[in-house]
Structure 1
Amino acid sequence: MVTAMTDVDILQQAYSLGELITSSEVFHEYIELKNALNCDQEAQRLISQFQVLKEKYEEVQRFGKYHPDFKQVTSDVREFKRKVDTHPAIAEYKKAENALHDLLVEVSLIIANAVSPQIKVPTGNPFFDQGGCSGGCGTGGSCGCKA
C-alpha cells in the first residue's frame, strides 16, 4: 500500500519541526541573550552610535575614495565596529545568533538532501552554497565541478 502525504500533513510536520527548534537550548539561549542585549544600556548606546557612523560611511561610499573624508570615516567605522563587536553583551549575542543560524542551516540541509542532493540551500557559506566551485574556476572541471 502506497501512502502519500497531503499538504496538511507536510505543514503539520513542518510546524512540529519549528516547535522542536523553538524549544531547543540553542534557541532559548539566543532569546535570553537577545533580551539581555536589549536591556544593556551601554550596548544600545554603542549600537546607536554605530548606526550614525554607518550612515556617514554610506554617504562617503557614494563618492568613494574621492570624498574628502573617505579615509577618516572608513577608519572610524572600522575602529568603532571593533569596539561594538568586543562589547561582552554584543559578542555573546552574536555567538548565540551564529549557533542558531548553524542549527537552521543544518536542518535545512538535511531536509533538502532528503528530497534531492541537487537542491541548493543558501547557507551563508560560499563553499557550501556553490558546492565548492561556482563553475567559473577556469580549470576545465579538474576541481570536480561541472564547469
Structure 2
Amino acid sequence: MIATLEYVEILDYSEKLGKMVLESDVMENYKKSRVALDEDIEAQQLIKAFTEMKSHYDDIQRFGRYHPDYNEIMKKVRSTKREMDMNERVASFKIAERNLQNLLDEISQYVAHSVSDDIKAPKDGAALTDTGCGHGGACGCAS
C-alpha cells in the first residue's frame, strides 16, 4: 500500500487518540485496581482456586450431566466464583475493567458511525459478556 499524506494523518490521529485513552482517568483507575488486585494475596488465592475449579468444570463439560461428578463440580464452581467475585479487590477491578471497556466501546461507535451508520461497532460491553461456549448452543448452553 502506498502511504499517502491522508493515510499518515489518520495514523497520527489514531496514535493521539490511543495516547488520550492511556492518559485518561478511566485508564488510571484500571491500572490502580489491577495493581491492587495483583498485590492482594487473598484475591490471588481466590483467583487461583477458581481457575483450578474451572479446569475441572471444563473436563466435565465434555460429558455434561452424564458425568458422575457433574452436580458436585457445578456447585463448587458456582460457590468458588461467588467467593472470588465478592472479594473487594476483584470486584473493584471488574468495575474498572467494565468502565474501560465502555470507554473503548464508545470510541469505537463514534469512529464507526462517523464513517457510516451501517458499520457495526461493539457496544454495551459486548467484549466482556459471556456469549456461551462457541458451539452455537449445541451443548445446551445459552449461546
For Structure 1 versus Structure 2, the TM-score category normalised by the shorter chain is 0.7 to 0.9
Residues 27, 100 of structure 2: 8 Å contact kept:
yes
Q: TM-score scaled to structure 2, two decimals?
A: 0.82
Post-superposition shift, 1:5? 5.8
Q: TM-score scaled to structure 1, two decimals?
A: 0.80
Moved over 2 A (4+): 122-125
- Aligned 1:52-91 pairs, distance under 5 A: 52-91=52-91
Distance 1:5 1:81 in 2: 51
- Aligned 1:98-117 pairs, distance under 5 A: 98-117=98-117
- Sequence identity, in percent? 39
- Aligned 1:1-147 pairs, distance under 5 A: 6-123=6-123, 124-125=125-126
Post-superposition shift, 1:14? 0.1
Q: Give the length in aligned residue pairs.
A: 123
Distance 2:5 2:69 in 1: 61
Greater Rg over alpha carbons, structure: 1
SS in 2 for 1:45: helix
Aligned-residue Cα RMSD (Å) equals 1.5
Q: 1:8 to 1:109 in 2, by over 3 A?
A: same
SS in 2 for 1:122: coil
Unpaired runs of at least 5, structure 2: 127-143
Post-superposition shift, 1:6? 1.4
Distance 1:97 1:122 in 2: 15
Unpaired runs of at least 5, structure 1: 126-147
Q: Per-residue CA shift, 1:55-113, capped at 9, x if unaligned?
A: 00000111100000000001110111011001000000000000000000001000000
